[in-house]
């Protein structure tokens, strides 16, 4: 299951802020600080709410907690993100992993993003090789690292992968693969389709339906 980094970051921020205010209360009231866990920190602050309401910094506390609530709401209400690992980042000196990623109901096509450096990103059609069987040559290696990496990766996806990335019913994927003659390969008894063919067909379908 893909890690929801936004949720992790918000939870970390919540823990940090609550622990900071709990530390202030414990120090100024001469009491033991609670465990560094959100339920314990929240309960501790609520028990000292009357004292906090009269503290000179109560405005800052209120502002920080409100900000955390907004951040948490954005994570909870965000459209589900789908991702599929496609290999190591090919940007020189970067040790991150590339994932093909899409956000449901966003209206934007999938893109390839580095998990370590989000600035390393490309739209999926930029990442895909024009010819799935091409090999990166000297010109690719020297002048176009992106297409060299794409050719080396040769992105082939299962019908399930395609349905997940483009939020399309699997029946539609199989139908388009047959109608449009998508290139395919078999590995260990499973069929994989060329992602470039899927990209073109599903983009055309989206334009016709207005999605």
Q: How confident is the model at residue 136 (pLDDT cuts 50, 70, 90)?
A: very low
How many other C-beta atoms are found inside a 10 Å radius of the C-beta of residue 164? 20
**% of the chain with per-residue pLDDT over 70:** 73
Tens of pLDDT, residues 54-98: 998 888 889 889 988 888 887 776 555 566 777 788 788 888 888
Domain ranges in the chain are 5-77, 81-209
CB 3 within 8 A of CB 81: no
**Alpha-carbon gap, residue 211 to 204, rounded angstroms:** 10
Predicted TM-score (pTM) of the model is 0.40
- Joined tokens for residue 155: 């992105």
Helix or strand (DSSP H, E) at 28:
helix 5-29
Tens of pLDDT, residues 89-113: 878 888 888 887 765 544 556 778 8
């Amino acid at each position: 299951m893909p890690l929801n980094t936004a949720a992790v970051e918000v939870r970390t921020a919540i823990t940090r802020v609550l622990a900071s205010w709990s530390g202030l209360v414990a120090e100024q009231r001469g009491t033991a600080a609670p465990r560094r866990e959100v339920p314990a920190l929240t309960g501790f602050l609520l028990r000292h709410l009357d004292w906090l309401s009269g503290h000179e910094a109560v405005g800052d506390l209120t502002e920080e907690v409100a900000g955390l609530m907004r951040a948490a709401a954005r994570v909870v209400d965000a459209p589900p993100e789908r991702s599929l690992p496609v290999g190591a980042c090919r940007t020189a000196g970067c040790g991150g992993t590339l994932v093909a990623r899409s956000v449901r109901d966003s209206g934007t096509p999938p893109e390839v993003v580095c998990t370590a450096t989000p600035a390393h990103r490309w739209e999926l059609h930029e990442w895909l090789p024009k010819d799935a069987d091409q090999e990166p040559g000297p010109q690719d290696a020297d002048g176009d690292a992106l297409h060299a990496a794409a050719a080396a990766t040769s992105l082939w996806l299962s019908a399930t992968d395609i349905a997940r990335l483009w939020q399309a019913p699997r029946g539609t994927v199989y139908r388009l693969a047959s109608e449009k003659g998508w290139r395919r390969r078999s590995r260990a008894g499973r069929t994989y389709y060329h992602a470039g063919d899927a990209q073109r067909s599903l983009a055309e379908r989206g334009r016709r339906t207005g999605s």
